[in-house]
Amino acid sequence: MQYENYGLNLAAAYYNEHGTKPSPISVATVLNNNRFYYTGALYSINGFTVSTSFSSGRNPAHASTTNFDMISGGFGYRFTPAFEVTSDVYYIKGENKSATNRSNMWSGRTIVYPGLCRCMRKWGYVDNRAR
């Protein structure tokens, strides 16, 4: 589901899958083993952009093993139609082990060559406290 109007973009998604195949040679299961929720918002005005989102991944068939939540936020400024600078922060929390937390911070720049390509350069820092 998506809404766009006057610089505001809102999005939400729900995904639930039964019977995923982990590899081409494995047998498909009928377990409810892949559920994902997403909500996000982005607002742009006068070259500035602010965004935030929340995601949640679950494995209902094995609720005690692989569940996570992710919160993200971002900020950017477009200097010209061909050049913008962005920054993003992501926080991922494993729901099954309290020690499984990750923080990522990214910054970058984008240069657009009209009719040719869009070049992005990002650099960042990752704090991985997974055990």
Q: In sequence order, what DSSP letters do the residues of 27-61 get, joined into one string?
A: PPP-SEEEEEEEEEEEEEETTEEEEEEEEEEE-GG
How much of the chain is helix, strand and coil, in % rounded to 5? 0, 70, 30
Is the CB of residue 47 less than 8 Å from the CB of residue 75? Answer: no
For residue 53, the enclosing domain spans: 2-128
Contact 40/51 with Cβ under 8 angstroms?
yes
With the C-alpha atoms ordered 56, 60, 61, 66, is the resulting torsion angle positive or negative? positive
Q: How many domains would you assign to the chain?
A: 1
Top pLDDT among 128 and 2 is at 2
Residue 13 has a pLDDT of 96
pLDDT band at 99 (very low <50, low <70, confident <90, very high): low
| 131 pLDDT more than 60 | no
- The CATH code of the domain that includes 14 is 2.40.160.10
Looking at residue 88, its pLDDT comes to 93
Which residue reads 């909500």 in tokens?
39
